[in-house]
Chains A and B, each alone.
Chain A
Amino acid sequence: MTRPEVNSDLNRGASLIDATPKQQRNTLALWLSRLEGPQTLGSGRWFWLTLALAVLAAVIYPLFVDGWTVGNTAYFLVWTFMAMGLGVIWGYAGSLSFGQTAFFGLAGYGYGVLTLNFGAAYGFTLLALALSVGLAALLAVVLGYFMFYGRVQGVFIGIVTLSVTLVFQAFMAQTAGPEWAIGAARLNGFNGMSGMPPLTIPWPGGDVLLYADIALYYVLLGLMLVVYLGLRMLLNAPFGNVLVAIRENPERAEMLGYDVRRYQLLGFVLGGALAGLSGVLYTAWGQYITPSSMSITAAALPVIWVAFGGRKDVTATLIGTLVMIFLYQWLTIYGSQYAIVVMGVILVLTVLFAPEGIVLSLMRWISARLASTGGRP
């Protein structure tokens, strides 16, 4: 990019003049420096120490519980990608998508169709993962093109994306007959598709099959960390700054010379791809996907996680999502209807009393306390 990125450079404290040669000299150091920045909360020694401790706890956690519980915890991690993607679209780019589950479902079914047809040999499941995520991204490109280049306003984006996922669900639900098959893969209507192989890592001396167990847990944990840190860097990069500028004032961003539609579309595609990643991982985790993963309730859940956590910060989104999924799992012991009612109540209360998100409000409060007690300058 040739034009100087005013926002990010001012915030990093670097002067505009020497920014360009520095970029050329050391791209890696530049990107690493973006792990902290104006668009993400958390910086300094204490934050990274806390994060390292949390990661360490997550790493040694399987030593203390049995494999089944670890597999169940891996299930929590599956959803974080969709939530972080929604955080990018809603919190950072300021356009609320209600239809992340459409990308989730498309990629999930995509993975099923591909692996049921071509098997799992030679690491094909990893290629299937990439292709399915690509498929979800492609849907996001098409849908996003029509919406953002039609300059649709925020409210309508929600409705259109929600309609897409509902119609997609209705479509998949009626594919029960034997005529609805793609190659060897029967779509199976409302009963859903099952029997696809789990993610398989080719390994000399025998492939590693990632069933819902400790190995899958570690892979998901690593993936989640990579995506989380990657998003931190991306959101503090010029791209993220422009997204936030658009959220705050689209007209001004446009006047500064940015193509608002293109950035919104890119953010939307990123979110769609992350939702697709969750969809593939979900399907591979349980070797199972049904149309109800695109139902209106399923579509509401990511919105609730992100609203509860705090959409304007990726860390808050991540923490909030994990807390809410844990709570939801715990409540379903008493019946999933009750769990959904509680989720609805939490959503309404969050919107009314902590519109920034409960986790984010807490994080702001803690960092304000630290600052006032001299924890950091």
Chain B
Amino acid sequence: MLTLFSFLFQFGDAFAFLVIASMGLAIIFGMMGVINLAHGEFIMCGAYTTVSLAQLGLPLPLAILGGSLVAGLIGMVLERTIIRHLYHRPLDSIVATWGLSMIATQGVLIALGSTMQGVGTPLGSFTVGGFSYSTYRVVLMGIAVLLLVGLYLVFYHTRAGVIARATIQLPRMARATGVDTGKVYTLTFGLGAALAGLAGGLYAPTMTLVPTMGATFMVESFVTVVIGGGDIFLGAAPAAAILAVIRSGMTAWQGQLFGQIGLLITVIIVIRLLPGGLSGWILGGRK
């Protein structure tokens, strides 16, 4: 019973991390076909902004929202100035975002130094059967689920969501019906960046703030998106659930690094079996 709770906690923690860390990447990839290698730097941006705002005295939830907002705005500006010109060249768009990522990481290192004073993990801990667990981690699990539900509602039950999906599926048709597709792309990229910033804000209290912190999210979020494929809800979400089992299992068995190695081996095997990712496989069955 106790080990079951412990495993569930580990699983939930890994699931929340994978969902929160990969959502921004998944939206930008699924909607626009662009792999954003600066994803980690948007996370870093969100984390730094959150901590700065919290140190100025803003309550943590507001600071996190602020971090998300700043990352989203920067994302929109970059989409307008750089990414926009590269939509017809997917490989080049990755390379360009990689350049942006290098500039951001090293720029922050130059401007703010190698580390930044963080904020402690809030909410304390609770005890089950002699082991203590962080309450904040449970909150993160809740947020991950809320995030998925919220995005689903936005994309499938609002007018904006319909317009966004229409633009993605048939850009020319959408333009013909009067949709400003350029604006949709900017907003989608901004949303992805804002979600990355949110991830940074949410995890800022639990980790050390260094300019290279984005790289810690990279492997996990890439793997989730690759296994998930193009669709967020049918791909990334179930992929996160499956990967969370593997990661928490491997981590409990051999440590965090082996959790990562397990993810990597999983992804290499999965792409051999399901080239379209989980969503390609699920949707392929329906078509």
Q: What residues of chain A have their CB less than 8 Å away from a CB belonging to chain B?
A: 96, 98, 143, 146-147, 149-156, 158-160, 162-164, 166-167, 170-171, 174, 296-297, 300, 303-304, 307, 335, 337-338, 340-341, 343-348, 351-352, 355
CB of A152 within 8 A of CB of B271, answer: yes
CB of B264 within 8 A of CB of A159, answer: no
Q: How far is the CA of A154 from the CA of B35 in the complex (A)?
A: 11
B59 in contact (CB, < 8 A): no
Could you write out 11 A-B pairs with CB less than 8 Å apart?
A: A158-B94, A159-B222, A163-B219, A171-B261, A337-B110, A341-B102, A341-B103, A344-B103, A348-B103, A351-B86, A352-B86
Question: Which residue in chain B gives the minimum CB-CB distance to A143?
Answer: B268
A159-B35, A355-B92 are known contacts. Are A150 and B273 too (CB-CB below 8 A)?
yes
Enumerate chain B residues within 8 angstroms of A156, measured Cβ to Cβ: 226, 271
B269 in contact (CB, < 8 A): yes
**Interface residue tally on B, bucketed by range:** 35 or more
- Is chain B's binding surface mostly helix, strand, loop or mixed? helix
- Is chain A's binding surface mostly helix, strand, loop or mixed? helix
B109 in contact (CB, < 8 A): yes
The 3 A-B pairs with the shortest beta carbon distances in the complex, nearest first, are A347-B99, A344-B102, A150-B272
Contact with A along B198-226 (1 / 0, CB 8 A): 00000000000000100100110011011
A-B contact count (CB 8 A): 121
A167 to chain B, nearest CB (A): 5
CB of B109 within 8 A of CB of A337, answer: yes
Enumerate chain B residues within 8 angstroms of A343, measured Cβ to Cβ: 99, 102
* Contact pick for B35, options A152, A155, A170, A351, CB 8 Å: A155
Enumerate chain A residues within 8 angstroms of B222, measured Cβ to Cβ: 159, 162-163
B 48-70 contacts with A by CB, 8 A: none
Interface centre among B102, B257, B269 (most CB of A within 10 A): B102
Enumerate chain B residues within 8 angstroms of A143, measured Cβ to Cβ: 268
B150 in contact (CB, < 8 A): no
CB of A344 within 8 A of CB of B82, answer: no
B282 in contact (CB, < 8 A): no
CB of B264 within 8 A of CB of A163, answer: yes
Interface centre among B101, B106, B212, B223 (most CB of A within 10 A): B106
CB of B257 within 8 A of CB of A146, answer: no
Enumerate chain A residues within 8 angstroms of B264, measured Cβ to Cβ: 163-164, 167
